[in-house]
Every structure is written in C-alpha cells, then in structure tokens.
Copies of this chain bind each other. A is one copy, B any other.
Amino acid sequence: MTWHDGAAAVAALTFDVDAESPVLARGGHYAEHLTTMSHQSYGPDVGVPRILDLLDDLSVPATFFVPGWVAEQRPGLAASIVERGHEVAHHSYSHRPPTSLTPAEERDDFERALAVFDAQGITVSGHRAALWEASRQTPALVAEHGLLYDSSLMGDDRPYLLEAGGVVELPVHWSLDDWEQYAYLPAPEIGSVIESPRKVLELWKAELDGMRVYRCLLMLCLHPFLSGRPGRLLALRELIEYALSCGDVSFAQCRDLAVRAAADESLPVRPVSLPVVDPAVYP
C-alpha cells in the first residue's frame, strides 16, 4: 500500500473552523468588538453551510479542524459536519499557539478539546496545532492520546513519519493557506493584503501542477470566514474542478490518508528535529 494509491498528487481539502477563537486568542477584550466578532462568526454561520453544499455538489471529501471552544459554543456544529460525511479533527481548545504556552498549559488545552469532542460523541483521529505553531512536545501529545496523525509541520510536502511515536505527519505550508491571501483585519492585525481569487487560483494551480510532477500532497488549508465569501468559493470550485479534470489527482480525508501512509513502508521517517543551539552564537 502507498499513501498516494497511484495518484500523481493527492489533494486534502481542510477547513479550519476557527470562528472567533484566533481573535480572542489575541486578547479577550476583542469580544467587545462587534464588527470583528461578526467578521469571525460569518465562518460557521454562512461559510460552513455553503462549503458543505459545494463539497456535496462536487462529491469530494474534506476534513474540518475545529477548536474545542468553537465546538462548545456551537453545540450542533461538529455533528452537522460529520452528518454530511466529512471528518472533524482536533484543532486545540482555544487556538492559542502551543509555543506561547507552558508544557502544562498546552497539555491542558489539548486534553480539554478532546473532552469536548468526547462529550459530543465525535471521534477525532488527528490534530492540527493552532497557528501551526507546534512545540517540542506536540507530537508526543498526539501519540500519547492515540491520534493517527498531525498536520502542523512543514518538513516535507509529502506525508512522513515522525520518529517519536510513529505519528504520521500530513504537512501544511503557508502557500497553501487562504489566510495569507485573504485575511484582513486591522485590530487585531491578522493580515493586510486582499488578493484577487484569480491570483489565488493561479497560485494553487501552479502548486498543484508542480506537485503532480513531484508526487506530493496538496494540503489545502481554508477558513470558512475567508473562503466562504462568494467570489472565493467560485475560485475554489474551479480549483477542485481543475484537479478532477487532471485525471491523476485524487482527493482524500486526512484520516484515510493517515491510514494509508502508516501502511506505506516507503514513507520517510523524519526526526522531530530541534537544533541544539550555542547561546554564544544564537542568544
């Protein structure tokens, strides 16, 4: 068995349903900023239903990474995604980045999210660190709690095995995220350029074409509050239709990819490598 199952490239459509959490993680007082809160709530309220319809329409599977806090605030949300045949996965409790937390705080946040999904009867098989800011201990937490995969690192553009714990890494990258292309908010400042969906489509098609040459994983990371906008959804539809028309690209949920990857003996094993730094050189 191979992770790619013969495809030239595999596309994983993932949606990080962050809602208000990344803004609140920048300061609890933003809860008083009415416009900002409405900007974020657009994601679950308007974006998610449209995205689910689009996925139905094109018959492609997807994975939704949901912070525990968001699942808690909107009790029916995670279940409504699972009911449509998609995967829900672990995306921290509060969307505070692990590198900003103590090890105990990270563990607490990690386990609190698991408890929320457990209480809602949602089985999660994988994890993505908030802001893709995994810490030294993040892979061990994923392994310890029996999850199959992590999707927060950038050490390759194909799945790889993390040395510690046998966790499958399904790597992400800034260039395959909609945040860098579309996010704009002055307070808190989360981005300052709004690109045209045409440019974004061009960027992602270029990356997909390159990945078909190098047999890679197109790990697309989208946010309903950003990509749920009408013009961006049309561009996403066009990207998916382009991928389907290639004939050599397959689509997969992260969970299925992780199962195939774990059984692929040719998969590279990469150390969870943190350089030992001499403070005289790098204070």
Contacts and interface: CB of A to CB of B under 8 A. Distances in A.
B194 A275 contact: no
Contacts of A138: 34
A20 interface: yes
Nearest to A232: B210
A41 to B, nearest CB: 6
B283 A50 contact: no
Contact of A133 (B35, B202, B277): B35
Contact of A174 (B133, B184, B230): B184
Nearest to A230: B210
Given A32-B274, A135-B32, A175-B182, A230 B216 contact: yes
B229 A133 contact: no
Interface stretch (A77-85, A149-157, A240-248, A251-259): A149-157
B197 A203 contact: yes
Bin the interface of chain A by size: 35 or more
A235 interface: yes
Nearest to A20: B275
A56 to B, nearest CB: 15
Copies of this protein in the assembly total 4
A71 B279 CA distance: 18
A214 B230 CA distance: 7
A202 B209 contact: no
Contacts of A119: none
A206 B214 contact: no
Interface string A129-147: 1011111101100000000
A172 to B, nearest CB: 8
Given A136-B34, A193-B193, A273-B37, A230 B203 contact: no
A272 interface: yes
A195 to B, nearest CB: 8
A38 interface: yes
Interface of A: 20, 24-25, 27-28, 31-39, 41-42, 45-46, 50, 69, 73, 93-94, 96, 99, 129, 131-136, 138-139, 152-157, 171, 173-175, 180-182, 184-187, 191-199, 202-203, 206-211, 213-214, 216, 229-235, 270, 272-277, 279, 281-283
